[in-house]
Structure 1
Amino acid sequence: MYRIRQSQEFIYGYNPITTIDEKVKNTMMDFGILKMKKEQVEIDMESKERVYLLIEGEAKLEWEDKSVVINRNSCFDESPWTLHLPKNTKVKITALKDDTEFSVSKTFNDTIFESKLYTQKECVDEHRGKGTMKETSTRIVRTVFDYSNADYSNFVVGEVIDYPGKWSSYPPHHHPQPEVYHYRFNPKHGYGFCQLGEDVVMVKHNDTVKIVDELSHPQATAPGYAMYYIWVIRHIDGNPYIAPTFEPEHLWVIKEDAKIWPDK
């Protein structure tokens, strides 16, 4: 199944969602949610490339000779803090508030690169779709890093915030590199839809979708509910993700002179 339904709240500690050794719909990555109560400590020195993205809360990060306190009140209204580590680099995370949550992405990568904490100021809001398609696909995209500024990584990481009743990841596109979408909604009882090729799945708060098999994957949000999702793409050896392939029959909608009914 492409969709992984999270029917209960995450427990304190690490909650695995996908694993790097899965036999079905393999995304080539470990992906999960680290949920922490105040003063809880997590120490990691795994032999994998790792990305810790703060979804919400406050924590102290300690790695190498650095120590930084980070805080994020809302994943909808504020950009993320994201710590990117090469294999075998130790990190200590201490939660300073209850219900502090990180997304955690891990994959194999023998390249040794310099650890980096991406600050909120480095992840600016990009308003995609604005001025096109009668504003039906206007959304906020935050790219933490991609191949253009981190070609040593095996990941591309970012976030999307969908406005109520609108689309994202549109026009429909696909790519051979596997991807994970992890969703949050505001209010939490909201929902949206994820298209996977010719199939559609409903997504709810805390759900995750695995995007593999080069399926096109546009998204839609129910009216009244804002939808947030983390996206993590795993490069393929010798074939890194640079840009998607758009379905050509739908590209006309983004042209400046597109006539979209009702043309009034």
Structure 2
Amino acid sequence: MKYSHISPFSYGLNHLVIDSLNPELMGLNFAIAKVNTDHAVVLDSEQEKLVVLLSGSVTYDWDGQKITVKRSDPFHESPTALHLNSKSVCTIKGREGDAELIVVSTENAAHFASKFYSSEDLASEELVGEEVLDGKTKRIKRVFFHRNTCQETNLFCGELVNYPGCWACFPPHLHSEPEIYYYRFLPESGYGFSEQGDEVFKVTHNDLVGIEDGKTHSQVTAPGYAGFIFWAQKLQDNGKNIDYHLVKEHAWLDDPAATFFPEKPSI
């Protein structure tokens, strides 16, 4: 499923997914916040919230704490993140010119300490896929946190940077939790394709797709363009991380020793 949005984004919160209007995504909310020195945003919903700066410079003010962060773009620079519990209220103020941020939220009554994650605090950041499938799944993968590092969270979010012409989430896989993918491209005229079962959606700069639970999915970026993908999932109330399953007919490609054309012989 592909979701429409207003572009360019207005100052304030631009809601792309709202839990009450999009129940198929299991209670996720997704918005792009745009701020500058004259336009601030206050996050005061009684939900668990994750805030990730895409570009620009901002100051976060929450629970008596303040921190200023800067990021030129999500392709070349590692992210930072502010993870807020349902009781924390945060004001986001722009510092220099315009800044854009991702805001993801969901219901979560569990108590945990709100925390700012520097790039060094990420659960992981690694280059993956370079040594398999002729490097056609080469990408940078960044995970903010998961239930092994924050047991109380109901969110699982991260970033992917696809190298030009490469796939992500391949071989196709599925899981019980719905998922959001938000896209940006470098240059902005770039595009890619989001595969969801037998449906395929062309995705461009600032597009967002939602994948219903149990639907197989994968995605590819056009040659010559880098693709940035932010993913967001709501975890189930079972205390576990997500259980992934590869599509059976393509699972053999996940074997590092898999042999394929031109080495694979004819049958």
Does the TM-score normalized on the shorter chain lie above 0.5? yes
Q: CA deviation at 1:143?
A: 0.3
Instruction: Show CA shifts across 1:189-239 (max 9, x none).
Output: 110000001111000000001111311111101111111011011012237
Q: Which runs of 5+ in 2 are unaligned?
A: none
> Corresponding residue for 2:171?
171
Residue 5 of structure 1 contacts residue 206 of structure 1 at CA under 8 Å; is this kept in 2? no
Q: CA deviation at 1:64?
A: 1.4
> Corresponding residue for 2:226?
226
Report the Cα distance in structure 2 between the residues aligned to 1:79 and 1:37, rounded to whole angstroms: 22
Residue 175 of structure 1 contacts residue 245 of structure 1 at CA under 8 Å; is this kept in 2? yes
| TM norm structure 2 | 0.93
SS at match of 2:253: helix
> Corresponding residue for 1:4?
3
Aligned residue pair count: 263
Q: CA deviation at 1:250?
A: 1.6
Report the Cα distance in structure 1 between the residues aligned to 2:158 and 2:24, rounded to whole angstroms: 21
Instruction: Show CA shifts across 1:124-167 (max 9, x none).
Output: 53112121111111111000111221120110010000011110
SS at match of 1:145: coil
Deviating more after overlay: 124-133 vs 221-230: 124-133
Q: Which runs of 5+ in 1 are unaligned?
A: none
Instruction: Show CA shifts across 1:47-74 (max 9, x none).
Output: 1111111111100111112111101111
CA 1:184–1:27: 2 relative to 1, 3 Å: farther
CA 1:31–1:169: 2 relative to 1, 3 Å: same
Deviating more after overlay: 239-248 vs 152-161: 239-248
Report the Cα distance in structure 2 between the residues aligned to 1:232 and 1:26, rounded to whole angstroms: 10
Stretches of 4+ moved more than 6 A in 1?
none
> Corresponding residue for 1:183?
183
Alignment of 1:112-131 (within 5 A): 112-123=111-122, 124-131=124-131
Instruction: Show CA shifts across 1:67-124 (max 9, x none).
Output: 1110111100111111000112121111112220111111110001000111122235
Q: CA deviation at 1:5?
A: 3.5
Q: CA deviation at 1:179?
A: 1.1
Report the Cα distance in structure 1 between the residues aligned to 2:127 and 2:27, rounded to whole angstroms: 30
**Percent identity of equivalent pairs:** 32
> Corresponding residue for 1:111?
110
Residue 147 of structure 2 contacts residue 239 of structure 2 at CA under 8 Å; is this kept in 1? no
Report the Cα distance in structure 2 between the residues aligned to 1:32 and 1:59, rounded to whole angstroms: 17
Report the Cα distance in structure 1 between the residues aligned to 2:221 and 2:22, rounded to whole angstroms: 31
Question: What RMSD over aligned residues (CA atoms) do the two structures have, in Å?
Answer: 1.6
